[in-house]
């Protein structure tokens, strides 16, 4: 990930509803969620949610799959890993043991 892509991801996450959507989709895991279910869970109008989902998808933090007439959304774990990797690529001035506690916190159980 380059600086331009990282800024796009941070800009997408800098709005409260989009941050809530991203966190909700991370929690949903591989099952993902439909746009309607996301709107209902966060009590956001569907047209507003559609715009927020579009911004998150363009930032590379979420992805979608068409299921018949509906669309299911998922956190894009590769996009999230790329953003975290960007943040940590020059971590700790050559002392990787200093980064290990952060890495341990990020590893899913």
Q: What is the pLDDT of residue 105?
A: 74
DSSP string, 24-85: HHHHHGGG-EEHHHHHHHHT--HHHHHHHHHHHHHTTSEEEEEETTEEEEEE-HHHHHHHHH
* 19-30: average pLDDT: 97
Cβ-contact 74, 28 below 8 angstroms: yes
Per residue in 33-76, pLDDT (tens digit) is: 999 999 999 999 999 999 999 999 999 999 999 988 889 999 99
Per residue in 74-95, pLDDT (tens digit) is: 999 999 988 988 888 777 777 7
For the cut 90, the answer to whether the pLDDT of residue 31 exceeds it is yes
Closest to 64 (Cα-Cα) out of 22, 19, 34:
34
Cα 6 to Cα 98: distance, rounded to the nearest angstrom: 23
Task: Mark residue 45 as left, alpha or beta (left: phi above 0; alpha: psi -120 to 50; beta: remaining).
Answer: beta
Domains along the chain?
A: 3-106 (1.10.10.10)
Q: What is the pLDDT of residue 94?
A: 72
For the cut 70, the answer to whether the pLDDT of residue 107 exceeds it is no
Going by the DSSP 8-state scheme, the letter that residue 99 receives in this structure is H
- pTM of the prediction? 0.85
Going by the DSSP 8-state scheme, the letter that residue 12 receives in this structure is H
For the cut 60, the answer to whether the pLDDT of residue 109 exceeds it is no
């Amino acid at each position: 990930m380059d600086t331009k892509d990282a800024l796009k991801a941070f800009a997408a996450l800098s709005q409260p509803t989009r941050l809530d959507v991203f966190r909700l989709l991370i929690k949903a895991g591989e099952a993902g969620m439909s746009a309607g279910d996301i709107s209902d869970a966060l009590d956001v109008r569907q047209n507003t949610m559609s715009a927020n989902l579009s911004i998150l998808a363009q930032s590379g933090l979420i992805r979608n799959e068409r299921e018949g007439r509906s669309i299911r959304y998922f956190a894009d774990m590769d996009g999230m890993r790329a953003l975290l990797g960007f943040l940590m690529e020059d971590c700790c001035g050559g002392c990787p043991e200093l980064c290990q506690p952060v890495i341990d916190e990020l590893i899913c159980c």
